[in-house]
Structure 1
Amino acid sequence: MKIIDLRTMRGPSYWSVKHYRLIVCKVDLGEFAGEWSNTIDNFAERLTALLPKIGQPHAPASRHSSKQLAKHPPLTQEQLADGEPLGHVIQHVALELQRQAGMPVFWGKSYPAREEGVEYVVFAYQEERAGRYAAQAAVEMVEALCRGEEFNLKPVIDELHDIREEEFFGPSTWSIVAEAASRNIPYIQLKNSSIIQLGY
């Protein structure tokens, strides 16, 4: 299982005109192509043991998070038991990893690619570097679970938290950005700058 293409969307794109801060990764499922969450022994149990909040209601941290959570509920234990494609599981793992590091992101989709055994996994990010890191970590975690191997989650969350602390907005800037996001006003942090652009 490996990522064969990883891209960052910073505005309206083919994948979404509404959700513009997206990671798009093309994942080759390799030997696990065609497998689902309910066809691999104890997969759901091991996943929820590592990430207990998958399958459980989330307590939103803000009004904006509450709205997003209502629109994009997390993966449930029932869905895992009934069977979910691994690409969809990777998407939810990548989102949950970011949330555990203090980045409230909720939107994501997965789609089969033209190539057999390959899926597009698309999900939201708050900090670009964290989103790209979460993509790789999610693929590695799901592969480890498929193989019945141990996965050390703590270094992943620690790294994501460090990225957030390095790149997150200050409190006054974040209050403006959060309000803009709640009104569906896009924002972009200009490259190599602390300046935030509202709108396109």
Structure 2
Amino acid sequence: MTTLHATRGANFWSRRPVTRMDLAVGAYEDISSADVKGFTEALVDAMPGLRDHRCSIGEPGGFIMRLRDGTYAPHIVEHVALELQTMIGHDVGFGKTRGGGVPGEYTLVFEHLHEQVGLRSAALALEVVQRAFVGTLDGVGYATAELASLAETSKIPDLKQRICCGITGGSGRAETRAEMLRQGFDCNELIVEVAPSYLLQAGLPYSRSEMAVIVDANIVDVPSRYAERDRAAQLLSVVADGVQRNGVVVVPAKEWEIQEMVRDADCRLAIFSTRNNITRRDKKLARTSVWVDGRRIVIEHLGDRIEGGWLQDDINETAQIAAATAVFSLKQLQPAATGREA
């Protein structure tokens, strides 16, 4: 085990709190459950509830099929961690296992209801699977007794903080925040910058926001596999998961994958560009578009064009346009909150 921690808010893998464990599996890289005589039987005898795990086929018994056909230690640890929690009465079911950045390294995530139970389940699941591989597993009563005791302790409170706006992106977050304040954003203490690396490690640091801003999609502060285009889009769009229903997310033009994810999160979309290059495809999902024509900022909202002022020479252009989009969008949200749709 090389990494073990829990997230509390919406995160790269789920909108729910999850436990994340990174594993370097060593010799277990080439040993599947089908290679070890009696492995599946020993594991299922100790944890009969594994028969209900659906796994990839989507039906009860799916995980048992995978065990008999041959699956590997990280995937098995994920299911055992979930089942240990189920055995003490916690209703959890979400989990994923993915390859890491180098051969032999894996990332496991699974749902938890109690953070300390989730963290301890990870370690106990690893121990259970190791014992099953070497043929010494004779039950998991010791593990469930420990987890049940942990479950009786006070858990870390759920996130309650509601903010006005969350900002993420590979660069320009601080500049965008400062420019939003300069342009009239009046929620100073409720604008939260969240680096992509923080989103990956800990998830959102708040529960809900009225809106969010994604400054750009060029992230560099995460492992290279998470900086790949599809994963970067998924990571950045975590801020949309925290936005209230029908809230607004500001996204760069041309970032179509992120735009789709924002709409899938039931958020309104506003797009921006530092050039006069917004296309019909960009406008397909967006209710607000902002771009630059010469040095003039143009805002188009539901088909109407509005003057957005002029670019300032001494301020980052991306920050100016992203901020102008955010400030305009907030003004549309505020009357909507009082029943007057803009």
Q: TM-score, normalised by structure 2?
A: 0.43
Which residue pairs with 2:307 in the alignment?
none
Which residue pairs with 1:11 in the alignment?
9
Question: How many positions carry a matched residue from both structures?
Answer: 160
Q: CA RMSD in A?
A: 2.6
Which residue pairs with 1:37 in the alignment?
33
Q: CA deviation at 1:157?
A: 0.5
CA contact (8 A) 1:73 1:106 kept: no
Q: 1:130 to 1:45 in 2, by over 3 A?
A: same
Aligned-partner Cα distance in 2 for 1:5–1:80: 25
1:79 has 2:66 as partner: yes
Aligned-partner Cα distance in 2 for 1:72–1:139: 25
1:22 to 18, 23, 28: 18
Aligned-partner Cα distance in 2 for 1:114–1:152: 34
Q: Partner letter of residue 188 of structure 1?
A: D
Q: TM-score, normalised by structure 1?
A: 0.71
Which residue pairs with 1:175 in the alignment?
none
SS in 1 for 2:10: coil
Q: Which has the larger radius of gyration?
A: 2
Q: 1:29 to 1:149 in 2, by over 3 A?
A: same
SS in 2 for 1:188: coil
CA contact (8 A) 1:30 1:117 kept: yes
Which residue pairs with 1:49 in the alignment?
45
Aligned-partner Cα distance in 1 for 2:99–2:27: 16
Larger relative contact order, structure 1 or 2 (CA cutoff 8 Å, min sep 6)? 1
2:150 to 149, 159, 163: 163
Aligned-partner Cα distance in 2 for 1:57–1:110: 15
Map Cα deviations across residues 37-84 of structure 1 (whole Å, 9 max, x no partner).
Answer: 2122211111101101111479xxxxxxxxxxxx89675322211122
Q: CA deviation at 1:33?
A: 1.1
Aligned-partner Cα distance in 2 for 1:90–1:15: 17
Q: Partner letter of residue 22 of structure 2?
A: K
CA contact (8 A) 1:44 1:81 kept: yes
Q: 1:88 to 1:97 in 2, by over 3 A?
A: same
1:188 has 2:137 as partner: no
Q: 1:73 to 1:132 in 2, by over 3 A?
A: farther
Aligned-partner Cα distance in 1 for 2:64–2:92: 20
**Larger strand proportion of the pair:** 2
Aligned-partner Cα distance in 1 for 2:128–2:104: 18
Q: CA deviation at 1:116?
A: 1.7
Which residue pairs with 1:63 in the alignment?
none
Give unpaired runs (5+ residues) of structure 1: 59-70, 170-186, 191-197
Map Cα deviations across residues 153-185 of structure 1 (whole Å, 9 max, x no partner).
Answer: 11210111111122369xxxxxxxxxxxxxxxx
